[in-house]
């Protein structure tokens, strides 16, 4: 499309040839003369201006660094990365299919909107409701009494078990399993007995769920993923977990049963949450941290020790065990010498 149309759809100003045609987006080092690129950071501006790209999204604050005599076609945005993401969806729109593939196995009790797409070898059980423009990829399984709202997309081989509610405009990537029984067990005379899980999984609108992520159903109450949550690949969310609106969870994180994550939280890769704890809103847990108690205040939290030479790490690890006794001895010395009184004065 030409830049004039693109700028109008994005709602941003254009400097340059309004009739210039862009036919794709690209990274700076792979750009062609008809490619659209973006620069979020001034450090990449020089490389962008010398790249082959035909059009560039930049921040207005970077205009002073641009040689007007040699400048490319420019689209001005206060948030170039976000604008680029929107441009991608305009220039490369997702294909929307309609209809039901003849190999799909669908219960006569299911309700499927005529605009939905049901791909090859999909299985849809009794009393399932499928909304407008829903896209169900090949080999997906939708369990009985589940509901999928408008414009949600399931990539191939997603498993949705019984009585799962999924909101509108969600994206669930391949291999995800939603609504399986959680790790609920009770012990009797040394043997484990499985506890039946009768709750649901309820997923809000605009939620992304990554490949091979699992979200377990609740035991009696529901597991709940609120609007706008983004979940990466290979994340485990246990029974009765609640994840607040617009929180993000990176790959390989694990949330134990009945943990509650507030709104606008960020759990980085490999984070672990113990069960029955609560995170306040706007909490950021850095990568590979283990959370063992509730966090009442927003902020950035970390645990663990950084990578070190093994010889140094082993020495420090041996000393970790003596930290408590060292602290106690230091406290006795401070009291004996009157250091604490001095510090308080």
Looking up residue 273, the CATH number of its domain turns out to be: 2.160.10.10
Q: What CA–CA distance (Å, rounded) separates 172 from 68?
A: 45
Cα maximum dimension of the chain: 86
Would you write out the chain's pLDDT as a tens digit for each of its 345 residues?
Answer: 899 999 999 999 999 999 999 999 999 999 999 999 999 988 888 888 888 999 999 999 998 888 754 568 999 999 999 999 999 999 999 888 999 999 999 999 999 999 999 999 999 999 999 999 999 999 999 999 999 999 999 999 999 999 999 999 999 999 999 999 999 899 989 999 999 999 999 999 999 999 999 999 999 999 999 999 999 999 999 999 999 999 999 999 999 999 999 999 999 999 999 999 999 999 999 999 999 999 999 999 999 888 899 999 999 888 888 999 999 998 888 888 876 555 555
Handedness of CA 285, 286, 292, 293 (dihedral sign): negative
Domain membership of residue 87 as a residue range? 3-91
| Residue that finishes a domain, picked among 53, 69, 91 | 91
Is residue 239 flagged as an active site residue? yes
On whether the CB atoms of residues 342 and 335 are closer than 8 A, the answer is no
In a shared domain, residues 164 and 203: yes
Q: What CA–CA distance (Å, rounded) separates 200 from 222?
A: 5
In a shared domain, residues 271 and 291: yes
Nearest to 166 by CA among 136, 209, 202, 124: 202
In a shared domain, residues 160 and 178: yes
Q: Match 């035991």 to its residue by tokens.
A: 219
In a shared domain, residues 263 and 332: no
In a shared domain, residues 120 and 262: yes
In a shared domain, residues 322 and 240: no
Answer yes or no: is 38 within a domain: yes
Looking up residue 84, the CATH number of its domain turns out to be: 3.40.1390.10
Answer yes or no: is 306 within a domain: no
On whether the CB atoms of residues 285 and 267 are closer than 8 A, the answer is yes
In a shared domain, residues 151 and 270: yes
pLDDT, position 70: 58
pLDDT, position 343: 56
In a shared domain, residues 164 and 296: yes
Number of compact structural domains in the chain: 3
pLDDT, position 337: 81
Q: What CA–CA distance (Å, rounded) separates 323 from 328?
A: 9
Q: Which of 97, 239, 276, 312 is catalytic?
A: 239
| Residue that finishes a domain, picked among 91, 117, 132 | 91
């Amino acid at each position: 499309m030409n830049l004039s149309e693109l700028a109008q759809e994005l709602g941003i100003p254009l400097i340059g040839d309004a009739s210039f045609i862009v036919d794709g987006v690209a990274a700076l080092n792979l750009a062609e003369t008809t490619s659209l690129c973006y620069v979020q950071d001034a450090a990449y501006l020089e490389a962008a201006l010398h790249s082959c790209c035909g059009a560039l999204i930049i921040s207005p604050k970077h205009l002073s660094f641009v040689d007007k005599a040699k400048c490319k076609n420019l689209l001005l945005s206060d948030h170039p990365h976000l604008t680029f993401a929107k441009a991608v969806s305009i220039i490369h729109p997702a294909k929307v299919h309609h209809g039901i593939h003849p190999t799909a196995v669908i219960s006569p009790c299911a309700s499927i909107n005529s605009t939905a797409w049901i791909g090859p070898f999909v299985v849809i059980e009794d009393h399932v409701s499928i909304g407008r423009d829903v896209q169900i990829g090949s080999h997906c399984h939708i369990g009985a009494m589940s509901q999928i709202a408008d414009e949600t997309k399931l990539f191939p081989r997603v498993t949705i078990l019984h009585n799962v509610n999924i909101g509108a405009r969600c994206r669930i990537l391949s291999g995800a399993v939603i609504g399986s029984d959680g790790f609920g067990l009770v012990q009797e005379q040394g043997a484990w007995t499985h506890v039946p899980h009768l709750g649901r999984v309820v997923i809000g609108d605009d939620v992304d769920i990554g490949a091979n992520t699992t979200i377990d159903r609740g035991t009696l109450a529901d597991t709940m993923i609120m609007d706008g949550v983004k979940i990466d690949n290979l994340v485990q969310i246990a029974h009765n977990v609640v994840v607040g609106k617009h929180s993000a969870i990176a790959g390989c994180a694990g949330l134990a049963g009945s943990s509650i994550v507030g709104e606008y939280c960020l759990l980085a890769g490999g984070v672990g949450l113990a069960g029955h704890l609560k995170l306040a809103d706007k909490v950021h847990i850095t990568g590979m941290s283990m959370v063992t108690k509730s966090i009442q205040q927003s902020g950035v939290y970390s645990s663990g020790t950084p990578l070190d030479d093994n010889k140094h790490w082993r020495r420090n690890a041996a000393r970790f065990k003596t930290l408590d006794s060292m602290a106690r001895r230091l406290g006795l010395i401070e009291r004996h010498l009157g250091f604490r009184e001095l510090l308080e004065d």
